[in-house]
Amino acid sequence: MNYINLACMFLSFGLLTIFALHPMLVIPLVFLGLTIFCFWLAYWDNYDKKNNQNNKK
């Protein structure tokens, strides 16, 4: 597991915690955006690695 996936797990856990503590929508929405962006980065990071492996063959 790489650091990006680990960061995503912590962000998701933080999102759930803050969502439970703060009924206000602004803060959870910001964390939700950060979590989605993080998973998007992790997805493209893995996608690039697969492409690089295919290109080396």
* CA atoms of 31 and 18, how far apart (whole Å): 9
Q: What is the pLDDT of residue 56?
A: 64
Q: Which residue has better confidence, 4 or 57?
A: 4
Tens of pLDDT, residues 9-38: 888 888 787 777 766 667 777 878 888 888
Q: Look-up: residue for tokens 């990006």?
A: 4
* CA atoms of 52 and 50, how far apart (whole Å): 5
Nearest CA among 38, 35, 18, 36 for reference residue 26: 18
Q: Which residue has better confidence, 39 or 51?
A: 39
Cite the DSSP H helix spans in 1-57: 3-21, 26-56
Contacts of 27 (CB under 8 A, 6+ apart): 18
pTM of the model: 0.40
pLDDT at 48 over 70: yes
